[in-house]
Amino acid sequence: MAQLALDAPWVLQGTLVVRRLRCRREDCPVCQEHGGHGPFYYLSRRGEGGKTQMVYVARARLGEVRAGLRAFARLKKALGTLAGEDLVRWRREARRRPR
């Protein structure tokens, strides 16, 4: 089995969401021109009971969050590969055993 190297300090599950938020001023030029203030970044994931959680991500930490999301994707892919290999070995072994 291949070794999984995680080069990120975190393993993060979810989706990076970019939002622009409108303010309450009706005549705000930023909202009128850009559709809102921002962009603001959030890590969105499904939490307990299927409820969506949105965690604010500061711009200074975007690279860290993106690396954590890539680490999760690599880990998920590696687990799928391992499970597939184990299934093949399990079936091969199950055929050899008498019933």
Domain-located, residue 67: yes
Range of the domain at 92: 15-96
Number of domains making up the chain:
1
The residue among 8, 18, 3, 1 whose CA lies nearest residue 63 is 8
pLDDT in tens, 30-40: 999 999 999 99
Encoded amino acid at 47, one letter = G
Domain-located, residue 6: no
Domain-located, residue 88: yes
Q: Which strands sit side by side in the sheet containing 15-21, from one edge to the other?
A: 15-21, 37-46, 52-57
- Cα gap 40→63, rounded to integer Å: 14
Domain-located, residue 78: yes
Domain-located, residue 9: no
Domain-located, residue 29: yes
pLDDT in tens, 48-66: 899 999 999 999 999 999 9
Assigned token pair, 15? 């989706």
